Structure 1
Amino acid sequence: MHTHSSSLLALACIAFAAPAAAQATFYENGNYQGRSMQANNPVPRFDRYGFNDRSSSVVVTGNRWEVCEDVNFQGNCVVLRPGRYPSLAAMGLNDRVSSARVVARSARVDDERYAPRPLPAQATFYERRDFAGQSFTTTGAIARFQRYGFNDRATSAVVIGERWEVCEDARYRGRCVVLRPGRYPTLATMGLNDRVSSARTVTQNNRIDDDRYAPEPVAIYDSRRRGGERLYEAEVTSARAVLATSGQRCWVEREQLGQQGNANVPAALAGALIGGILGHQVGGGTGKDIATVGGVIAGAALGANVGRDGQPVTQDVERCRDVPGGARPAFWDVSYTFRGQEHRMQMASAPGQRVTVNERGEPRQ
């Protein structure tokens, strides 16, 4: 995977006199990585710019854009609303975009022509590694985690929709790190384990230096059902548990001594959006073909524990326990066959005899 460039260097940058309000930036790799191509006006042939069948993610600003698998806006076409799309696989266009154009504001578009809505901007922080323990979910800036009883407690995180800046001091001060959308099983690699005190989204047009980014996350896989999409059942051919590594796990539990207040930060929809399906791969493809891993091991509980109004009296207690290898599966590696083609995916729990897929064999919740 190519290194992210703070200046979004384009392999081919299409500069037109059209307003910048209508713009689409296509990326070679998922999660907005690799080389990119920026367009402000219709592009009937991506091959003229060396970017045919190379797009894996896209950021759309201003107006809606129509992206098509054939030149001159032919073949399978999908309309993208403004937003960030970390993977085009969900709409069947990964490495298949050959043309794109702006959709007029007054144009009516049938619902079935739209791609799934972009994931909302949201961050969920967990008090233990691997998305375990109590959690705190927010869709807006949090200047003081202390107000919600979660100061210096975050040990892992899931970020969706937009980039988030997390800081060790209140009001976005002290050491700050930018998290791309994805799953971060531990914040220790960026020196922020049990040290996050504030967080906020980073706007799409805000340029970030490479050294401010956290290490690459495991990106989000969106397994939501698309509007009008027909679903099928596929036979599971094999399932194996990938065991967690052994070792001692320690964490700090904050024991509350005072009275809890009412939750005042809305728990968002991430549990429903990216629950138990962690990733998808078709056959024996290359690394670029592997759909990015996403979801949450405890997806159903995502957002269940949110911030609190008051400032209860608490004390920090460190606890440790030995976790032998094989104590529990980290995830399940599942193979299934659909219409004569083999697929693989990762799941948070053991599958049944069948799994739900769409007409392309992509897993659905």
Structure 2
Amino acid sequence: MSSYLSKCHSCRVEKGCFMVYDRTNFMGNQYFMKRGEYADYMSMMGMSDCIRSCRMIPMHRGNYRMKIYERENFGGQSHEMMDDCDNIMSRYSMSNCMSCNVMDGHWLMYEQPNYRGKMMYMRPGEYRNFMNMGMSNMKFMSMRRIMDSYY
């Protein structure tokens, strides 16, 4: 982000997908932006005052795989996912997801069923707990793949 841009209330994504964050170093509340115009994204997304960091999401072609766990540090019930899930309680009888291992693809995880509430971008890697990413006490109830159609 440019240090000379003190305020920005609208933007246009011309190509690709991005995650924007309300804290520096890709921390805090996250918001997904795909191609399109955002006339007043601050009020639309409920952002505090501005974007503090931004990350481009690379396009992924291939399979999507993620293993979700009920507890931190890969504990409790687990399930491997290869497609979107709008409610882990109804699909897997899991009360929440508190850690995961993303093997393939890029995912968005949401704190509420039906892709609602706060979200977090997950790229391939192990996530033992979400507190390290600035999301204390965060539990996820739905998740979806970031597909080519978003680009």
TM-score when normalising by structure 2: 0.53
Partner of 1:126: 69
Aligned to 2:83: 140
Q: Which amino acid aligns with 2:71?
A: R
Structure 2 vs 1, CA of residues 168 and 6 (structure 1 numbering), >3 Å: closer, same or farther? closer
Q: Which of residues 86, 89, 94 in structure 2 aligns to 1:150?
A: 94
Deviations along 1:201-237, one digit per CA (max 9) or x if unpaired, are 0114636xxxxxxxxxxxxxxxxxxxxxxxxxxxxxx
Which residue in 2 is equivalent to 1:195? 139
SS in 2 for 1:123: strand
Structure of larger gyration radius: 1
The Cα of 1:194 is off from its aligned counterpart by: 5.5
Please say if residues 101 and 125 of structure 2, whose CA atoms lie closer than 8 Å, have aligned partners that are also in contact: yes
Out of 123, 131, 141, the position equivalent to 1:180 is 123
Query: What letter is aligned with 2:146?
Result: V
Contact 1:136 1:150 in 2 (8 A): no
Cα deviation, residue 151, structure 1? 3.0
Structure 2: how far apart are the matches of 1:173 and 1:192?
Answer: 18
Question: Which residue of structure 1 lines up, in the alignment, with residue 108 of structure 2?
Answer: 165
Q: TM-score, normalised by structure 1?
A: 0.24
Amino acid corresponding to residue 93 of structure 2 in structure 1: G
Q: Distance in 1 between matches of 2:118 and 2:138?
A: 13
SS in 1 for 2:150: coil
- Give 5+ residue unaligned stretches, structure 1: 8-57, 61-82, 84-117, 208-365
Larger RCO of the pair (alpha carbons < 8 Å, separation 6+): 2
Structure 1 moving runs of 4+ over 6 Å: none
Distance in 2 (CA, whole Å) between partners of 1:6 and 1:162 is 15
Deviation at 1:169, TM superposition (A): 0.8
The correspondence of residues 254-333 of structure 1 with structure 2, limited to 5 A, is none
Identity %: 23
CA distance in 1, matches of 2:138, 2:79: 13
Q: SS of the residue aligned with 1:171?
A: coil
Deviation at 1:168, TM superposition (A): 0.6
Q: Deviations over 1:253-293 (max 9, x none)?
A: xxxxxxxxxxxxxxxxxxxxxxxxxxxxxxxxxxxxxxxxx
Deviations 1:171-219 (A, max 9, x none): 1011111111111111223426462111010114636xxxxxxxxxxxx
1:206 aligns with 2:145: no
